[in-house]
Amino acid sequence: MSNITEAGLATGYARAASRQPALVTGTDLLVIGAFVLVVLTMPWWLVLIAGYEALATKIVIWAIFALGFDILLGFTGYLSFGHAAFFGSAAYITGLSLKHLTSDIVPAMAISFAGLFVIALVIGVLTLRRSGIYFSILTLAFAEMAHALILSSTLQAWTGGDNGLTGLPTPTLLGSPMRGLTVFYFASAFLVAGFIAALVIRRSPFGLMLRAIKENPMRLEYTGVNVFAYKMSAFVISAMYAGIAGSLTVIYEPYVATEYIYWSTSGEVVIMSVIGGVGTLIGPILGAGFMLYFENVIQGFIGEQWKLVLGLIFVFMVIFLPGGFVDLARQIWRSLGHRIRARRYNVPDMAPEADEDRLRRRLDREEAEAR
Amino acid sequence: MTIAAEARPADAVASAPAPFFAARDVHAYYGESYIVQGVDFEVREKEIVALLGRNGAGKTSTLRTIARAAQPSLKSGEIWLGGMPLHRMSTHEAARAGVQLVPEDRRIIPGLTVEQNLIVAQVAERPGWPLAQIYEHFPRLAERRRQDAITMSGGEQQMLAVARALARDLKLLLLDEPYEGLAPTIVREIESILQEVKRIGITTIIVEQNAIAALQLADRAVILDMGTVAYQGPAQEVLDNADLRHQYLAI
């Protein structure tokens, strides 16, 4: 072994390092396969656990919403309290297109996609200048403004005001009506595509940048990375997931409720992500499934106190399992004697300028000493 | 080199070569407090300059102003690096122009492995040394490349911080108190890293409480007092001149 020099070792390491990590590995293909299987059979197995077929569609749609939300919260560390603005805007644009343009969903989804891209860019430019709690409050403010705009007397003739947007035709896809399981499979295709996209994002250099932003944006800025551009991309991608979910909701149920753009919708997607496991791919999807299952099925068993029970579960999860269901699974796996890699389940740091704060304290101290 | 020509103040002698790096009458504020009060100095290519002074003299603030950090904010003055106007750039633009600040806390990104820390520096435009070259110079990093960077020792983190700077198109390395808070054995490790930096010939400005150590490494010294340059000259001269050291450095 003596002929292996340090330099030789280093070259070996370097060679190993220079190999680009594959964006999708064999294990990923297995995971994706299992995921597709579980999703596509949902209408069948959901009935076995006292659910119903249409609930499966709702779960798939909200899973897309929560997955996209986690690209911003879990990957990048930005907690948006205004994602209802994207979900709701897309729902309204889709609804208006179905009502006034054509009942075909292709133009409806295309217009809502394009419209939402612009909305996300504008809100992103105005909110991403701040981080932590300030970002959260700004996004909430924009979502509330969007809600107020929808209900305003100016737009009432178009949006239906408090009644929501009603009287939509049955959506069609190239002439065939979108009903029941057709909508489910259509939405599932988006979920699977969204899942694979999120997986690739997380694995890519872009995903690495987002993680670095979550940990410490200032340090990345010193490295020479345009942090704002990366944040913006994550924000827009996340908004587009929300938009697709909003469009699909209207296709699933041709009606736009004002609630879609209300803050409670933003809150719900936050809870789904946190309860499922922030920063993971499967967590938010599990969270969405759990929440909807609870709202629609468990509610029937425990009666009107269901919200209290749900609240308790949420409190319990945040205190004892901040990593959500995914963490629960890991804890069980570990208790069975397996080794797991340590993970950080941090909700975004509310003081991302900690570096600056520390420096400032030091400067103050030194100034005092110098006097 | 027309841009470089602008770097010189109007009264400069036309035949004098444009300096590699120049800070011209730089004023910067930290919030309300006026910290950098007209700092003016130059650094030649491949030179190591020790930026010294008592606590509160404005050393770190000057360093951060050069790196165009969000704080302190530059109010007036010009900062030129190889003909590029740093004073007109944002933090990440200055970094792309080749300025790499290694702050006191070493700027490792936690939660990322050693290698990911290096890759993040290379994804941005104008990468510097490839990973292979970095690992060749710092075999310790190669051994630990899969490890969460924040779990390494202080010296290894410092090594990674310097390596991260080298992973970029590095023109000017800014080191803020590289010895701060480290055990004596690790200080020796850092010394060897800095000797390596010197051997490679990286233009460096080093701020350090341990003035003697910094002076032994540096070619020239710039001493700050009350936010302005009080002295500049060969590092050896400061080492030899006890009065000077006593007056400005209290050593």
Query: Mutation test of the interface with chain A: which of B108, B120, B170, B172, choosing the one with the most A Cβ atoms within 10 A?
Result: B120
User: Rounded to whole angstroms, how far apart are CA atoms B219 and B24?
Assistant: 21
Residues of B in contact with A226 (CB under 8 A): 92, 124
Nearest to A366 among B56, B130, B131 (CB): B56
Interface predicted TM-score (ipTM): 0.74
Contacts of B166 (CB under 8 A, 6+ apart): B128, B129, B134, B137, B202
Please state, in angstroms and rounded to a whole number, the distance separating the CA atoms of residues B12 and B15. 9
The amino acid sitting at B114 is V
* Interface check B73 vs A, CB under 8 A: no
Give per-residue pLDDT as tens, A164-215.
898 888 898 988 888 889 999 999 999 999 999 999 999 898 999 999 999 8
Which pLDDT score, from 0 to 100, does residue B33 have?
Answer: 87
Prior bond of A171 cis (ω within 30°): no
The reply to whether A344 touches chain B by the CB within 8 Å rule is yes
For domain A36-336+343-370, give its CATH number from 3.30.2010, 3.30.70, 1.10.3470, 2.40.128.
1.10.3470
Going residue by residue through chain B, which has 251 residues, state the pLDDT in tens, using 9 for 90 and above.
344 444 444 444 444 567 899 999 999 998 888 989 999 999 999 999 999 998 888 899 999 999 998 888 999 999 999 999 999 999 999 998 999 998 887 678 888 999 999 998 887 777 888 999 999 888 889 999 999 888 888 888 888 998 999 898 899 999 998 887 777 777 887 888 888 888 888 999 999 888 888 998 999 999 999 889 999 999 999 999 888 888 888 77
| Per-position b or e across A168-186, b if 16+ CB within 10 A of its CB | beebbbeeeebeeeebbeb
- Using a CB-CB cut-off of 8 Å, the residues of chain A touching B36 are none
What topology does CATH give the domain B2-8+20-109+168-249?
Rossmann fold (3.40.50)
pTM for this model (two decimals)? 0.81
Contacts of B61 in chain A (CB under 8 A): 363
The per-residue pLDDT for B50 is: 94
The pLDDT value recorded for residue A335 is 85
